[in-house]
Amino acid sequence: MVTLYPDVPDQTVLDQGFESDLLGLFEGASRLEADPGSSDPPPRIILYLRNLWDLAAGDPQIFAKEVRTTYLHELGHFLGLDEDDLTLRNLD
């Protein structure tokens, strides 16, 4: 798995219908869906650092908490969890 840290979503992501204040994104096949013999690119987690910083209003402790929560949320998608599963785990 690859993790990327751009500041904000690029136009490709926005064209998919995501909001410009998106905090994180999982792209690729989950562990449940992945084909071990596939030549597809590895799954990736993207954390949008400027958006996370803006949400935290510049508070380093809130920023660290939001980065952790967002990363675990996207990792949950990699593991095959849906939004309801993540909400039950307080990762929404």
Query: DSSP letter at 91?
Result: -
Residue 9 CA from chain centroid, whole number: 11
Question: Is residue 20 a contact partner of residue 8, using CB atoms and an 8 Å limit?
Answer: yes
Q: Tell me, which fold does domain 2-88 have in CATH?
A: Zincin-like (3.30.2010)
- State the alpha helices, DSSP H only, in the chain: 11-15, 49-55, 60-78, 83-88
> Is 80 exceeded by the pLDDT of residue 45?
yes
- % of the chain beyond a pLDDT of 70: 100
pLDDT in tens, 61-70: 999 999 999 9
Question: Is residue 78 a contact partner of residue 1, using CB atoms and an 8 Å limit?
Answer: yes
Distance of alpha carbon 12 from alpha carbon 68, whole angstroms: 25
Handedness of CA 49, 51, 55, 59 (dihedral sign): positive
The model's confidence at residue 33, banded by pLDDT at 50, 70 and 90, is confident
